[in-house]
């Protein structure tokens, strides 16, 4: 989906409830941006509660191919 040009931000929330009363909620916030060459990249993590010394999962999405990508981390 695309964020409307005049929007300052967009928040999407989804909640799942089952018959036992269990519930899970997820939320996504999107903000508009501009790229003269229409090249976009999105980076996020699915690691909810990362701790020092543990691995973290990073997701990288783009509408163009990457030959090489690097990352920097800090403690």
With respect to residue 46, please indicate whether it lies within any of the assigned structural domains. yes
Rg of the chain on CA atoms, in Å: 17
With respect to residue 39, please indicate whether it lies within any of the assigned structural domains. yes
In this prediction, residue 30 carries a pLDDT of 79
Average the pLDDT over 30-40 and give the result. 79
Residue 57: how many CB atoms within 10 A of its CB?
9
Range of the domain at 17: 10-62
Number of domains in the chain: 1
pLDDT at 75 over 70: no
In this prediction, residue 20 carries a pLDDT of 94
Six-digit token pair at 45?
């993590």
Q: CB–CB of 40/30 below 8 Å?
A: no
Candidate from 12-26, 30-44, 50-64 with smallest mean pLDDT: 30-44
Bridge partner residues of 46 (DSSP): none
With respect to residue 75, please indicate whether it lies within any of the assigned structural domains. no
With respect to residue 30, please indicate whether it lies within any of the assigned structural domains. yes
What is the distance between the alpha carbons of residues 55 and 17, in angstroms, rounded to a whole number? 30
pLDDT at 1 over 70: no
Q: CB–CB of 43/56 below 8 Å?
A: no
């Amino acid at each position: 989906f695309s964020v409307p040009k005049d929007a300052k931000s967009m928040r999407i929330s989804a909640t799942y409830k089952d018959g036992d009363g269990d519930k899970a909620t997820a939320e996504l916030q999107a903000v508009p941006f501009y790229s003269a060459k229409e090249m976009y990249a999105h980076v996020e993590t699915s690691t909810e509660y990362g701790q020092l010394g543990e691995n973290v999962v990073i997701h990288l999405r783009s509408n163009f191919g990457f030959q090489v990508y690097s990352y920097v981390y800090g403690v």
